[in-house]
Amino acid sequence: MSRLTELRDVIREHNVAYYRNDAPTITDAAYDTLLSELLALETTLGVTSDTASLSGSVGTPVGLGKVHTHKSKMLSLANAFDTETIAKFMDGVSTKLTIGATTYCMEPKIDGLAINLHYVRGELLLATTRGDGTAGEDVTANVKSIFGIPHNLSAEGVVIPDELEVRGEIYLPKRELVAINLLRSASGEKLFVNARNAAAGTLRQSDPTLCKTRGLSLYVYGAGINGNLLAGTHSDVLSVLEQLGFSTTPGWLVSNIHEVGTQLASWADKRSILAYDIDGVVLKVNDLSQQVQIGAGRRYPHWAIAYKFPAEEGVSVVTAIVWQVGRMGVLTPVAHINPLVVGGATVSRVTLHNLSEIHNKDIRINDKVVVRRAGDVIPEIVRVHTGATPREPVVKVLTNCPVCGGGVEFNGVATYCKDSTSCPGQLKGRISHFVSKKCFDIDGFGDKLVDSLVAGNVLKDTVGVHRLTVKALEPFVGTKRAVKIHRCLLASKEISLPRFLYSLGIPHIGRSVSEALADKYGTVAGVICASKESVLAIPGTGDTIATNLVTYLQPSGDGINTISELLGNGITIKIPETTVGILSGEVMVITGTHPELSRTEIAARLVALGGVMANSVSRRVTTLVVGANPGGKVAKAKKLGITITTIDDMLAKQ
């Protein structure tokens, strides 16, 4: 099961990077490969519907803002990178339909942030991000400040349902990105890499006026609950929404792969001259009744697919290959290249991930290489264009850490510095993580300052950050800035439990796991006392996460000492007000199926009521929740004297 755990951990972190942080770290194709492997492995091991699985979720759990459940799930889309995959998809649609020919609607895939607008009796009451597909963050105030989004719906001859969800993409026009970056450059702020990151970051700001001044826009691509009451086809639904005042994505009706190919070529040709960024084209079955007949999976609808455009490419020269050490000791090779503009951004450094990638692509210093920005975001070297003559030597396995000179370990894929205690590179990484926005959020404490403080032997661990004085900071930043940073240090001493846990830098304990731990145990003491079995019962965790946490928190270990010293420095943990759910104290296992809800949806509702989910029946389980066609868990529950109830009876407690 180790590979299953590893895949879930890796995918969870990539979900957080893309959906929450708006900063993806791998390509769409690489992500799809990982997800396909997870789905196949779950099926082989018979854990396809495990509530701990990530294959059934879209994106990642929402952040710390107010959360609302979508009336109907916001599914993601399966990706295609060639017309052969599109043709296979269309053949699959045909086999699922019992009667009638199929017409498809093609429309551009806007590169922005998915949004769900919830109207009640024609009034916009709620706007939420996609979140994990089931629930999203409340961004209503910001969305209402965006020009062109109707606050009230009305149109002659249109009957508006009492409840209606309108789905679309919040995006930033290209001209607005240029204007914003000019202002940020003039004020010395970091520039936005692309329009999507700018749009997502703006929408999550606390000040609604920022959305209004930055010129965000919305293109509507469909409807959720009661959208079928507007019209019988997807294209007609878009027409009705346009009558109601929305800007809708332009679409074309096609019926065969030849027409699809023509439209793909057309959109690819005009992509660069559009006023907004698109990263592909979406193909949807147009008839809504056929969509229902075809159905959907846990993650994707089976009646739609997204064709992703190839990434833009350019050629440059590798001038050096430099190894960087991360906070966990992983040594990562980075190619320095002659600056190259690709996809609108200047690229001068490209991560090579590990030694295996260097050898597989045979990349050497002075080679000409093809560079692309995968997903128009992440630079990567695709292949060697032409090698230098004569070529430089093949890059070899490191024998020593280039930062501290200590020994290294190579496991066949990754290279690690074994000196975790005194390696300056690892220490800098740990401190940078500790002070980052996702942890203690200490303004002005950037990487350059961290480098200087470590090099000057002023900081030797993360505990020392909150012991810094104005006098200690002055030689590095000057008096005025030292005073400002020190004020931020003092202000950061009050922190939420999830951020505190994440700041500790425990391997595989990311933001989502930190939030899950905080939700279950409530206090630092509760987390410290958690057993491995207790952690394993949390949905989304696995053996690696549980083992790493318990190992870090072992009595008299470095982890406990770090926590003790941090709290001794005056760090206080903010405990949010919580409402005890009616299922508080219940440990439940779900078995069988439900005609309307997936097991993941059922588990989410039970957790919202205060319950804790487990994966298997044991003596610690209090209730077995049974649906249709249950398995052998019923017999085991009876043998252990565990209460058995139905899914409907349990959900009726809401």
Backbone angles phi, psi at 324, to 5 degrees: -115, 145
Catalytic hit among 73, 88, 96, 109: 109
Nearest CA-CA partner of 450 in 441, 459, 442? 459
Q: What is the C-alpha separation between 70 and 117, in angstroms, rounded?
A: 10
Q: What is the C-alpha separation between 83 and 260, in angstroms, rounded?
A: 8
Other C-beta atoms closer than 10 Å to the C-beta of 155 total 14
Task: Decide if 284 is catalytic.
Answer: no
Nearest CA-CA partner of 125 in 188, 61, 169, 71? 71
Spatial contact of 79 and 123, defined as CB atoms under 8 Å apart: no
Q: What is the C-alpha separation between 155 and 392, in angstroms, rounded?
A: 69
Give how far the C-alpha of residue 474 lies from the chain's centroid of Cα atoms, to the nearest Å.
38
Distances (CA, A) of 270 to 216, 249, 258, 275, 345: 22, 15, 19, 10, 20
Q: What is the C-alpha separation between 610 and 604, in angstroms, rounded?
A: 10
Spatial contact of 426 and 329, defined as CB atoms under 8 Å apart: yes
Three-class SS state of 77: coil
For residue 424, cis peptide bond before it (omega within 30 degrees of 0) = no
Q: Which residue has the tokens 């989304």?
A: 540
Look up residue 309 and give its DSSP letter: P
Q: What is the C-alpha separation between 463 and 466, in angstroms, rounded?
A: 7
CA end-to-end distance (rounded Å), the chain = 35
Mark out the alpha helices in 417-568 (DSSP H runs): 424-435, 447-455, 470-477, 479-491, 497-503, 511-521, 524-528, 532-536, 543-552, 558-568
Buried b (16+ CB within 10 A) or exposed e, 418-448: ebeeebbbbbbbbbbbbbbebbbebebbeee
**Which amino acid belongs to residue 543?**
D
Spatial contact of 124 and 151, defined as CB atoms under 8 Å apart: yes
Q: What is the C-alpha separation between 603 and 108, in angstroms, rounded?
A: 35
Catalytic residues: 109
